[in-house]
Amino acid sequence: MTYYLGIDGGGTKTYALLTDDCGNVLGKGVGGNGNHQIDHALAAQSIRKAAEGALNEAGLRIHEISHTFFGLAGADREADYRILHPLVQDIGFTRNYSIDCDTMIGLRAGTNRPYGVALICGTGTNAAGRNQAGQHVQVGGFNYMYGDFGGGGSLNIEVFRSVIRSWDGREQTTLLTPLLLNFLGYDSVSDMFDDFQDHGKHVPVHAAKLLFEAAAEDDAVALEILNRQGVELGKSASAVIHKLGMEEDRFDVVLAGSLLTRGDRGWIRNMVEQTVATVAPKATIVTLATEPVVGALWSAMDADGHAVSQDVYDKMRVFCDFEHIKLTTR
Amino acid sequence: MTYYLGIDGGGTKTYALLTDDCGNVLGKGVGGNGNHQIDHALAAQSIRKAAEGALNEAGLRIHEISHTFFGLAGADREADYRILHPLVQDIGFTRNYSIDCDTMIGLRAGTNRPYGVALICGTGTNAAGRNQAGQHVQVGGFNYMYGDFGGGGSLNIEVFRSVIRSWDGREQTTLLTPLLLNFLGYDSVSDMFDDFQDHGKHVPVHAAKLLFEAAAEDDAVALEILNRQGVELGKSASAVIHKLGMEEDRFDVVLAGSLLTRGDRGWIRNMVEQTVATVAPKATIVTLATEPVVGALWSAMDADGHAVSQDVYDKMRVFCDFEHIKLTTR
């Protein structure tokens, strides 16, 4: 029998999924932070725990796995790979494995093709792609100084500063004002301003979600911020497409990350669609609904030269939440 | 005889200028950082040193001064004034004195009227104004999170990220690329990117000045950043004008800070002019050429009810550099 193992290592959770070549789920494993840039020792421990959890549940040993694919947050640059290869080899994965950044498994989970473009907009933003020749590029994924704009972390600040600018007369009035005051529990912007200044408070987390509430009421300020986010992601997608020479290709642009999969009703997506339509007319925009670890598993099959069947796509496409993926009863 | 003392307390230097009511310079004093937000004890010491330097040179005591005007960086909010009044009183200034933020003495130095609007664009940005009724407002002056955009600190980042974005395909090519590589001593953007990433380097200081070099060659990316800075300052000016009800008034909008007084050949200023023209058609934009401590001295005369004469304006307007202000020989 042929077995595959997919690993999704993120900043808070690491997931491992083990199936046979028909997509029957034989084992699952969970660990904590799997991003070595955050904590190397913890990442090593989390990845080991998740992998061993899945193997033990399936009653299998590492050498019985045909291919293991690690999709790891923090696998960005050559310097990262010089750290990550010893890390997974220490666990026992000495051959038949691949490492790539988590963006690429998000991409793989969202498309029935082993190539395409992925745009991530979660806490930060990231863009990456792979063409039919297997070439891979990444654009962005660092922070504002390195050219990015947006993601939840930045949009929290945009919400806060828009309310300040509306209050001090630099910007028009916005529904974000009552929404943010209510969210943070202040009676007035002046009270909020003073409290933040007096106590050196940091930008409020989760304020970005208020953009969706305000946009639903046609608030111009919120719409402008969300559109700007869409334009930015569109520019990232265009850069990836041009670098990979995919202008004439038929492929999916997969949108992933909480801001794109939860909350957005097209305010961001429409701008991405418009930009992509001009540079790659045959591309299709899809919003990721499948758990990214599934992409790691399909990538393991790809790497092993095993074409993912329509049956496997259909069976596993519906895995939307790792916790709810059930072991296959046979 | 009537004597006036003007103090300009900034983040690196504190200047004191003492004249009689005819603008004859009788004493000068210098201290270090005068911003209590940076270092309270040092600010107190710097302000004392500068004030006593000027008094000693003039051979005068505090009680002989008709009015002293402190223009202090960091005199932003009520909480600051609760600290600053005891601070200057400890030095001996128990009456006939005023404290205001340094923006207001920059304003006063740039206009022959005791009212107007000041826009600062140095390391950060700030905007403030006073109307004919003596009302005063400030807009911004904090940082990006609190609604500001620009100033040298932020524009350094804009230059860096524009070069990254041009390199990774998210933005058009720009002359900022060869200028920044030459400025920082790298052969390629890739080398620069890796070195900054590998060594966690911070944004290069003084990179903002490259915007002016590129703009002089009609570089679209540089022009867009400078125009955006101008639009932002224009919005701040408009907010101040509206808050003070100065839409119909004849007054000066004084541009101060290194980015506006050194380097800009109208790229920023023209956008400010356009915005201000629509909200206050009788306003005039002027670029500050006079040393701000002169504004502190004229403010001292204003506060004492002593109208600054044309002769004093003419005599002191030419004080462009504190170190070159000479004592009046009589």
pLDDT at residue number A38: 87
- Where does the pLDDT of residue B123 fall: very low under 50, low under 70, confident under 90, or very high at 90 and above? confident
* Cβ–Cβ contact A40 with B under 8 A: no
Is the pLDDT score of A330 beyond 70?
Answer: no
Mark A73-101 as b/e (b = at least 16 C-beta within 10 Å). bbbbbeebeeebeebbeebebeebbbbbb
* Cβ–Cβ contact A145 with B under 8 A: yes
Mark A225-245 as b/e (b = at least 16 C-beta within 10 Å). bbebbbbbbbbbbbbbbebbe
- CA nearest to A201 within chain B: B145
Size of interface A-B (CB pairs under 8 A): 72
Residue B283, phi then psi, degrees to nearest 5: -80, 150
pLDDT at residue number A1: 86
Quote the ipTM score. Answer: 0.89
- CA nearest to B153 within chain A: A145
B63 close to B103: Cβ distance less than 8 angstroms? no
pLDDT at residue number A91: 97
Tens-digit pLDDT profile for residues A61-104: 999 999 999 999 889 888 899 999 999 999 999 999 999 998 99
Average pLDDT of chain A, as a whole number = 95
pLDDT at residue number B133: 96
CB under 8 Å to B266, separation ≥6 — which residues? none
Q: What is the CATH number of domain A3-102+290-324?
A: 3.30.420.40
Is the pLDDT score of B165 beyond 80?
Answer: yes
pLDDT at residue number A12: 84
CB contact under 8 A, A147 and B170: yes
* Cβ–Cβ contact A191 with B under 8 A: no
pLDDT at residue number B330: 67
A259 close to A155: Cβ distance less than 8 angstroms? yes
> What residues does each domain of chain A span?
3-102+290-324, 152-207
Query: Which residues of chain B lie closer than 8 angstroms to A198, CB-CB?
Result: 79
- CA nearest to B154 within chain A: A145
Nearest to A170 among B157, B203, B235 (CB): B235
CB contact under 8 A, A139 and B203: no
B7 close to B71: Cβ distance less than 8 angstroms? yes
B19 close to B32: Cβ distance less than 8 angstroms? no
Is the pLDDT score of B283 beyond 90?
Answer: yes
pLDDT at residue number B124: 87
CB contact under 8 A, A242 and B157: no
B27 close to B53: Cβ distance less than 8 angstroms? yes
- Where does the pLDDT of residue A323 fall: very low under 50, low under 70, confident under 90, or very high at 90 and above? very high
> How near does any CA of chain A get to the CA of B177, in Å?
14
Between A243 and B74, the higher pLDDT residue: A243
What is B184-202 written as a DSSP string? HT-S-HHHHHHHHHHTTPP
Cα–Cα distance, A93 to A96 (Å, whole number)? 8
CB contact under 8 A, B161 and A147: yes
Is the pLDDT score of B70 beyond 70?
Answer: yes
The pLDDT of A6-26, averaged and rounded, is 95
Q: The tokens of B258 are what?
A: 């290194």
Tens-digit pLDDT profile for residues B219-237: 999 999 999 999 999 999 9
Query: Hey, what amino acid is at B135?
Result: Q
CB under 8 Å to A100, separation ≥6 — which residues? A69, A70, A71, A72, A75, A136, A299
pLDDT at residue number A258: 87
Query: Which residues of chain B lie closer than 8 angstroms to A171, CB-CB?
Result: 147, 235
A187 close to A167: Cβ distance less than 8 angstroms? no
- CA nearest to A156 within chain B: B145
